[in-house]
Amino acid sequence: MNNASMNNWVTEYLQDSSLSKRSREIYRLGLLELDRFMQLENLSVSELETVHIRKWLGTKRQQGSSVASIALLLSTWRVFFEWLRQHQWIIHNPMLGVKPPKKPLGLPKSLSVEQAQQLIKNGFPQSTKPAQIWLNCRDKALLELLYSSGLRAAEICQLDWKKTHLSTAWVDLSAKLVWVMGKGDKQRLVPIGSYALEALGAWLEVRPSKSNESEDHALFTGANGRRLTYASIWSIVRKRGFLAQLKMPIHPHQLRHSFASHILQSGANLRAVQELLGHANLSSTQIYTSLDFQKLAQAYDKAHPRAK
């Protein structure tokens, strides 16, 4: 196959597809990369085999190409070759059996102990306005509970301030416990810290009520008495991080990461942390030990005279 044939096929394929204008351009550039590779190897489309694709893949990794860019190119080629096969211009798709490189597992971004304290201490400016005092009271209880118990934002949304026949998740302040409905409808029991207990007690004294029974028992509500949504919890945490003058945007899951990281640093058992977080697999919890080691390694690099 000559270069003209490849160009004709690419043109016809792009005209055939229902891609958006932006996606069509991405595919066109990806197929240009394929054409350059085949010319370099002196191969036609019918001669291209899986082994050639894997060779290209290895070269790209050695050159330092990102996992995301390689995966995008491979996806583009896979769809194109399948289109050629369906039109009977090639016998088999050489992309079958070629897997994109795995994206490196990113470590969770947690706050330091000092940043967590800064968030709670400085994220609630003093005010004499009743509405702002009310918001400070609610939001402080929310953040204290997120950090104290490592809950997900979605789990916070479901919490009631006491157990009722409608409750699936609730707090028991007298027992210093929160009953959580986690992923897969699995219930777990998590302790509540003393600062969170104090903040929750203050919040319940000013929390509004609503006639609707399911809303009336919601732990965290807006001024209208309605249960806070997932999005509103994210917005509250982001706002409080900004007011505390933290250098990066904060989201609820960072407080969960911080909870796990900080109690592991204090000597907590990995299995116990798994139970507290509601992880189905221990491997999900073990990433926090990697995060802890990374911080230790950074401290070593800074302090040890033989580190560099």
* Residues with catalytic function: 152, 183, 253, 256, 279, 288
Q: Which residue has the tokens 């189905």?
A: 280
Helix, strand, or coil (residue 191)? strand
Helix, strand, or coil (residue 190)? strand
DSSP state of 173: T
CA dist., res. 284 & res. 2, Å (int): 50
User: What string of DSSP letters covers 101-158?
Assistant: PPPP-PPP----HHHHHHHHHHSS-----HHHHHHHHHHHHHHHHHHHH---HHHHHH
CA dist., res. 124 & res. 126, Å (int): 6
Q: Which residue has the tokens 């969770």?
A: 108
CA dist., res. 126 & res. 267, Å (int): 36
Q: What are phi and psi of 246, to 5 degrees?
A: -75, 150
